[in-house]
Structure 1
Amino acid sequence: MAQQEPPRNDAEQIAKATETTARATEAAEQGLAEAQHALGLRYARGDGLPQDMAQAAVWFRKAAEQGHAVSQYDLGIMYDTGRGEPQDKTLAVQWYRKAAEQGYAPAQFNLGVMYSAGDGIPEDKTQAARWYRKAAEQGHASAQYNLGFLYNSGRGVPQDKAQAARWFRKAAEQGLAEAQCHLGFMYNLGEGIPEDTAQAAVWYRKAAEQGYAPAQYNLGLMYDHGNGLPEDKAQAARWFRKAAGQGIAEARYNLGIMYYYGDGLPRDMHEAIRWLRMAAKQGDVKARKALWRDDIRKAFAADLAAGRAARTIAIRPERRAGEDPA
């Protein structure tokens, strides 16, 4: 049997971390940009040092002023978010630009976002597309998605659904849920790509399984209507529930209706009302209309009376300071 190294105790690990930090500090103080950036990261993460965003900013700046692209980007993030430096979107743009001009893809993407939103710089969708493209061509998934979005809407670039589908696919193949959902949508409608509802379902599922609520809703619709998948009301209800739990009003409406009819799950008027009310509160017109059905109104009135009684009983034994009376 091969010999195993005995586990180090905490004291040994602390000593090693201290020695590593000391070496990193010495190299940083000698002016090595990589070491300065590494030390900044240690302060930012609390790795071998007490977490200190202000000190992280000090070391990122030293490296950034030497032209270290990643430090320029990190300093830009600090100005962008107000962590370690006072929030200053204009300075964030300046540092993102320095890193972006050196070809650093995350900075190119962030600079594109700033141009797109008019954040720290005048809004310019054409410039946003330009910087997204630079990052996208390096394989940056979020930039690929955003560039696809601009092609899809014709903002900053001529509208081109085929190009939109192309860039969505690149991002989707890297696992970006938003892109997977959008690619599924384009397959579903045949926009920029031949219509293929089975492929739409494939891409919706990939995004849905990552927890992306719009894809969960869309996958539920596919099961509900037997579109691209065999009709399966139970699966439709399952995916509507996941999307509804994340606040998608249409999913809440559909789930409420499925409870109302007992379609894919046991009929339950109380659950139907609960989900329809949530959808209605979000402004869903169909849910508001559904709540005016006579049988729902009667059940709702009974639920409301029962709910009031239960709430009154629940809170009367004890009131907390500062709470309003029932």
Structure 2
Amino acid sequence: MKHLILTILITSFAFSLSFEEVREIEKEKGVLEALSSYRVLAKREDTNSIFRLATLYLKGEGVQKSISTAKIFLEQGSLLNHHKSTYFLGKLYINKKSPYFDEKLAFNTFLKAANDGYAPAQNMIGQFLAAGIAVDKDYKLAIKYFEYASKQGDEDAHCNLAFMYANGKGVFPNFGRAHQFAKEGVKNGNKKCIKVWETYNLEKYDEDKGWKFNFYTKPSN
């Protein structure tokens, strides 16, 4: 009887916790202490808890690593329109070491989040289009997706646009504009921006002052 009462009290307590409170429990006492509460919240369709469970199983952090279990949670989160879950599910499909490797499925998964305005997924779709992965190469459409992400302040998208302008892929070559797109990423140590900067010696080109670059670099409201 005492065991039953204790179980009821623990379950009631778990149901009353928020994701933020469970996260604090994890930080203070470890994953195992927080796991059951995350699961309770996941059953209540709390997308933050669902995604946290997915990442724990992906990394094997405090639990036995299980890509298949992580995939189940990412799919659950994606169905609930949690863009980060959808994005990580896409990354699972694009990883050649993953048992679920499928480039076409990866593209369609990223596209779902991209079309909902999620910047990292928009940037990824641009990369698929620029490289011709799972779809035909389309530099002009790649530029559009890079721009969508760039306008939200996505640094990788800035770097990709720098490369496209330096290379003249989908746009007229413009080293001054490439300079503008890459310079902040270079300061931040972004390897992609640094590579473009050094490969095309962008330091020697003046910035494109006649272009409203802030429109692309200031995060959208």
Give the TM-score range, shorter chain.
0.7 to 0.9
CA–CA distance in structure 2, aligned partners of residues 191 and 164 of structure 1: 15
**In the alignment, which residue of structure 1 is the partner of 2:23?**
113
Cα distance change of structure 1 residues 153 and 289 upon mapping to structure 2, 3 Å threshold: closer
CA deviation string 1:185-206 (max 9, x = no partner): 1011156552111111111112
Corresponding residue for residue 271 of structure 1: 177
Radius of gyration: which is bigger?
A: 1
The one-letter code of the counterpart of 2:46 is: H
TM score, norm. by length of structure 2? 0.79
Q: Cα deviation per residue 1:183-232 (whole Å; 9 max; x = unaligned)?
A: 01101115655211111111111212222222122111111111122221
What does residue 101 of structure 1 align with?
A: 12
For 1:128, which of 34, 41, 51 is the aligned residue? 34
Give the letter for the 1:109 counterpart: F
Q: Secondary structure at the match of 1:113?
A: helix
Contact 2:119/2:149 (CA < 8 Å) preserved in 1? yes
Distance in 1 between the 2:194 and 2:74 partners?
Answer: 36
Cα separation, 2, equivalents of 1:100 and 1:130: 9
Aligned length: 202
Counterpart of 1:110, as a letter, is E
| Higher relative contact order (CA closer than 8 Å, sequence separation 6+) | 2
Tell me, yes or no, if structure 1 residue 244 matches structure 2 residue 154: no
**Counterparts in 2 of 1:124 and 1:238: CA distance versus 1, 3 Å:** same
Task: Determine if contact 1:111/1:131 at 8 Å carries over to the other structure.
Answer: no
Which of 85, 89, 107 aligns to 1:201? It is: 107
Please give the per-residue CA displacement for 1:154-207, whole angstroms capped at 9, x wherever unaligned: 112111111101110011011100000000110111565521111111111121
Q: Spell out the pairing of 1:1-326 with structure 2 (5 A cutoff).
A: 101=12, 104=15, 107-116=17-26, 118=27, 122-189=28-95, 193-292=99-198, 296-300=202-206, 303=207
Shift of 1:251: 1.9
Residues 158 and 99 of structure 1: CA distance in aligned 2, closer, same or farther (over 3 Å)? closer
Judged with a 3 Å threshold, the aligned counterparts in structure 2 of structure 1 residues 102 and 229 are, in CA distance, closer, same or farther, namely: same
1:286 deviation in Å? 4.3
TM-score relative to the length of structure 1: 0.56
Quickly say closer, same or farther: Cα 1:273–1:104, change in 2 above 3 A: same
After superposition, give the CA deviation of every residue in 1:84-109 in whole Å (9 maximum; x if it has no partner). xxxxxxxxxxxxxx89725637x353
Kindly tell me: are residues 282 and 99 of structure 1, through their superposed partners in 2, closer, same or farther at Cα, counting changes over 3 Å? Answer: farther
